[in-house]
Amino acid sequence: MNARTPPFAPFPPWRWEIPARLNIGVACTDAHLGTAAADRPAMIVEDDVLGTSAITFRELAARTSRFAQLLRNLGIPRGDRVLIRLPNSLDYPTAFLGAMKRGAVSVPTSTLLTAEEVEYLAHDSGAHAIVIDKAAWRAMGPKLAGKESLRYALLSGAGEVTSVPGIDSIDLGPALDAIDAWEPAEDTAVDDPAYLVYTSGTTGYPKGVLHGHRSLAGRAPAATYWFDFAGEGEVDRIVHSGKFNWTYVLGSALMDPLYRGKTVIAHEGRNDAATWPRLIAKHGATIFIGVPTIYRQILQKTAFTRADVPTLRHCMSAGEHLSDEVFGLWKERFGADIYEAVGMSEFSYYLSQSRFRPIRPGSAGFPQPGHDIRLLDPETLAEVPAGEEGMICIPESDPGLFLRYWNLPEETAKLRHDGWFFTGDYARYDADGYIWFLGRKDDIIKSFGYRVSPYEIERVLKSHPAVADCACVGEEAGPDKLLVVAYVIPHAGAAVTADELAAFGREHLAAYKAPKVVYLAGDFPRTKNGKILRRSITPAIALARSSG
């Protein structure tokens, strides 16, 4: 059987409708003015400290326009980058969408990043403005003074404004309130840059992935073949367990739902397993989106059942593989399937399970219609037959594909071949046409939904004066639990402990990147050419272990 003709009725032919002009900020806000969605809540934020806040589509349209005007008034030109380092809050869509209404490029970043990491992103992106909460700016601002291109800090939240030499610190709330008129949003083309996300790279530094406004239209197949949005006149309320800075969440819990007039419920605070069922129940949510770790925690640490969340209709997961055990237990207790998807920073979610086909646990389902995904032999570009492993390749014409890597033309060119983008991910089709995702053939570690580059961690640890060499790997700590750990060879005579090196990692790396365990080692298994054999590294080679 041909790998691409499964024994099911074919999906209906997909017709792309890609306009010549599109602005994501407008499509997610102003486009709903004059419709039934205008006075519907666009976003509700549940903050453990600040309580509940909400904003309608009409209010969000005005607030994002004020933000765009603020950027104009500050002299931030079209095409400039605006760094966003915010917790989940109403200021997030204000800044992310408002920057794009200005024609600027939004640069979402994690609140877990250290000042050193933010400094690198500011330098690499060339951002002249950062949107950041006041508490983080108090701690981070002085470390960024005079070092980078940053000229403006737009400060979110309550409290005092911290002044930093060389950077104009602006209280965001009052600045927006003072704007009572604004110019129209920029008329952007679909291929104009819209947002820049940073992902772990193989050089030891994050690399920027630049997306165009077309990405919003490019994810349209997912609205039908992964989501299960309610019909016309019905209102979906969507709970997502993640942070907006993550590409997965930016699409599935911010841009895509707002584009379709749905209500998003976000949370900021302690990540407790009981939080999510409580939010679903409180807000009558119909769709829940998470990562396998969250589903597993709800099953293991709470007693919630279907009776507690009667409105929940559709569950979705991505970021890492969902185990058969979690899938089965969730369906048994909550009476709902979990629809899994696979994506990447360069292309968002494009493989998924669908309510139109039976779920085969462990499989990634099918390529969504509209995405002409092929499994190719990267050497010959020939399509591989069913059962054989091939690289997932995407036509360069796909509107969902990123524009280019930021400041890395050679890296972009390296992955484009004869009209195809090489994802570096491998998969196989089974005899029935289901696709089985096999992952990358490099050393990127997927831990609790995060994609972590071992090279970035090693670069930081090697900056410690006592470290001669190190290797970072993933270590299984239980079902669906992969920890980031580091093996370190100290310099001869260096008096350093594994705990000290673990603390050094926590100080200089975001929490999700910092090694959970550090081992001291005498040497590593290596090839004849001296290259470290990461897959052969185990705790058996360790001389000592951190208490973490």
DSSP labels, 97-160: HHHHHHT-EEEE--TT--HHHHHHHHHHHT-SEEEEEHHHHHHHHHHHTTTSS--EEEEESSSP
pTM here is: 0.85
Helix/strand/coil for 67:
helix
pLDDT at 1: 37
pLDDT at 361: 82
Enclosing H/E stretch for 469: strand 467-478
Q: Distances in Å between the alpha carbon of 226 and those of 96, 215, 220, 290, 333?
A: 24, 16, 10, 13, 22
Q: Phi/psi at 185 (nearest 5 deg)?
A: -60, 150
Positions of the chain with pLDDT lower than 70, given as ranges: 1-7, 201-203, 233, 441-443, 527-531
pLDDT at 60: 98
- Cβ proximity of 398 and 215 under 8 Å: no
pLDDT at 441: 67
pLDDT at 452: 83
DSSP 8-state symbol, 253: I
- Return the bridge partners of 208, or none: 198
CB atoms within 10 A of CB 310: 10
Return d(Cα 371, Cα 229) in angstroms, integer.
20
- Cβ proximity of 384 and 376 under 8 Å: yes
Helix/strand/coil for 305:
coil
Cα-based torsion angle of the residue sequence 143, 149, 155, 156 in order, rounded to the nearest 10 degrees = -100
